[in-house]
Structure 1
Amino acid sequence: MTVVLATVCKDGVILGSDSQITDKARGMTYPAEKLHPLGDKAAWGGSGARSVLTDVQRCFNENSAAILEAPDIGRALQGHVLPILRHHYDTFIADVPGEEGGGTPSAYVMAAGWRDGAPWIIEITPSGMIGHYADIGFHAIGSGAPLAQQAGSLLSHFHLTERSVDFGCAAVLRVLQALDLTSASVGKPFSLCRIDADGAHHLSEEEIEKVAEVVAKWEKAEQSVIAKLFD
């Protein structure tokens, strides 16, 4: 199961992901990085066929400046992803003897950034459609997306769009931790990227550990308040 999620904060955007890749055809899972830089002012993640996402990563690395400087970032992303999808659809062999149900060449791509004082979150679907989610404030892709959406809804009363990216990092990590508890195929290590007016910063393992300490204090504080309410 894969989950890549993004949430809007008052001063930036947070992207988060797990690191578990599921290979159904071989009955195995393995860790892999799912969050990638898109230049120095944005980031992206993907879900689906690894061959497609590898080509997308190479394309984005080579064309990040043109994408981020385009008048319409969604159309720019679409223009680069569509030829890759079409190539893989055209060359895919569906009926491989002995490997029935071995997957498809489809993939979802989600990118996020901060430009001109405003956030953007854009998804390119396997059919090439463009989805804009900055106005909604939260979006997730991958087979774990429904669970992530539910977890995000359970945190909606904290009004993430009115809080800082520091709080956003804690909220996203808390969602990922919840998915880790409820789904065997979502697991550590987790990745976080915070994007604001200064650019995109991919958190190190040590920085994510510090965020995890904040989450633990947050949960402890909630338990303390609940205990007092029902004393």
Structure 2
Amino acid sequence: MTVVLAVVCRDGVVIGSDSQITDKGRDMTYPADKLHPLGELAAWGGSGARSVLADVKRRFDENSAAILDAPDIGRALQEQVLPILRHHYETFIPDVPGEAGGGTPAAYVMAAGWRNGEPWILEITPSGMIGHYANIGFHAIGSGAPMAQQANSLLSHFHLTKRSLRFGCAAVLRVLQALDLTSSSVGGPFNLCRIDAEGAHHLDKDEIEVVSDIVGRWRDAEQAVIADIFD
């Protein structure tokens, strides 16, 4: 199971992901990075066929400047992804003798960034459609997306779009940790990237540990309030 999610904060965007890959055809799981730089000003993640996403990464790495400088970033992303999808759809062999449930060449791509004082969160679906989610303030892709959407709804009273990137990182990590507890196929280490007017910063292991400590204090504070009200 995969989950990549992004939230809008008052001063930027946070995008995060788990790192657990499920290979149904071989009945195995393994760790892999799902969150990648898109130049120095944005980040992207993907869900679905790994061969497709590997080609997407190569194209994005080569063309990040052109994508981010384009008047319409969504169309620019679409122009990069569509030829890759078409190639894999045309060459895919669905019926392999002796192998069942080997997957499909379908893949979802989500990218996020901050430009001209405004956030953007865009998705390219397996059919090549462009989805815009910055005005919603949240989006998730992957098989864990429905659970992430539910977790975001449970946190809606915190009004993430009015809070800082620091809080946004904690909220995204808390959602990822909750999914880790509820699904055996979502797992760490988790990846986080915070994006603001100065660019995209991918948190390292030590920085994510600091955020995890903040999440722990957040949980403890909630428990203290509940005890004070009800006990």
Q: 1:100 offset after TM fit, Å?
A: 1.7
Report what 2:13 is aligned to. 13
Give the distance between the partners of 2:75 and 2:218, measured in 1 at CA.
Answer: 40
Report what 1:168 is aligned to. 168
Secondary structure of the residue that 1:30 maps to in structure 2? Answer: strand
- 2:145 partner letter: A
Give the distance between the partners of 2:189 and 2:164, measured in 1 at CA.
Answer: 24
Report what 1:188 is aligned to. 188
Residues 158-207 of structure 1, C-alpha deviation per residue, up to 9 Å, x if partnerless? 00000000000000000000000000000010000000001000000000
Secondary structure of the residue that 1:213 maps to in structure 2? Answer: helix
Give the distance between the partners of 1:177 and 1:192, measured in 2 at CA.
Answer: 12
- 2:122 partner letter: I
TM-score of the superposed pair, with normalisation by structure 1: 1.00
Please, what is the CA RMSD of the aligned residues? Answer: 0.4
Give the distance between the partners of 1:28 and 1:145, measured in 2 at CA.
Answer: 21
Secondary structure of the residue that 1:136 maps to in structure 2? Answer: coil
Aligned length: 231
1:131 aligns with 2:131: yes
Give the distance between the partners of 1:80 and 1:130, measured in 2 at CA.
Answer: 12
- 1:171 partner letter: A
Secondary structure of the residue that 1:5 maps to in structure 2? Answer: strand
Q: 1:98 offset after TM fit, Å?
A: 1.1
Q: 1:45 offset after TM fit, Å?
A: 0.1
1:218 aligns with 2:210: no
- Provide runs of 4+ in structure 1 moved above 6 Å: none
For structure 2, the residue ranges without an aligned partner over 5 or more in a row are none
Report what 1:74 is aligned to. 74
For structure 1, the residue ranges without an aligned partner over 5 or more in a row are none
Report what 1:97 is aligned to. 97
1:208 aligns with 2:205: no
TM-score of the superposed pair, with normalisation by structure 2: 1.00
- 2:157 partner letter: H
Q: Percent identity?
A: 80
